[in-house]
Amino acid sequence: MEWLRMATWSPYVVGVGIGLLACIAFLISNKPLGCSTAFARTSGMIEKLFRGDRVREKAYYQRFLPTVDWEWMLVAGLIVGAFTSAIISNEFQILLVPDIWAEAAGDSVLLRWGAGLVGGIILGFGARWAGGCTSGHGISGTLQLAVSSWIAACCFFIGGIATAMLLFRVVLAG
């Protein structure tokens, strides 16, 4: 069980594990893995606190009911699992500004959190606009050989590589 305490795991082993879990989940539940809909449902639950059942009048929330479902529990499990893994591997730490961010953009907590908030909002809109996120398209969609998911997954990698190159070019130039 010592492997559970490792700070990093082989991306190949993790990739195979995620693929197997996605297959098993799909076979058991007949539903693909995905996370972004859980955030949309959460926004509906928050809106419901202020507007009551009128939130269900919106066409979007008629399609994606603002309730706790299996995707919502998947996200909760990811958070609990990441926290547990960080504790077990002795890697848990609270950083308001990670070192790589501080090297690239300075140590301003406000800038870091503002950029995270704006990036998260853009990511959320993109995931909803694309009809899924990296787990929905990149794992489940490609597993089902959906052409749209393969295109989305390629775009995820292109965008990620371009962002990393831009970020690290800034770090190396500075």
Q: State pLDDT tens for residues 14-54.
A: 889 988 988 888 888 888 888 888 888 999 999 999 999 89
At 173, is the pLDDT very low, low, confident or very high (cuts 50, 70, 90)? low
What is the pLDDT of the chain when averaged over all its residues?
86
pLDDT score of 154 more than 70: yes
pLDDT score of 171 more than 70: no
Give the position of tokens 């190159």: 165
| One-letter amino acid of 44 | G
pTM of the predicted protein model: 0.76
Q: State pLDDT tens for residues 89-142.
A: 999 999 899 888 888 788 999 999 998 899 888 888 888 887 777 778 888 888
CA dist 20 → 7, 42, 125, 127, 145 (Å):
22, 28, 29, 24, 15
Q: State pLDDT tens for residues 1-12.
A: 787 788 888 889
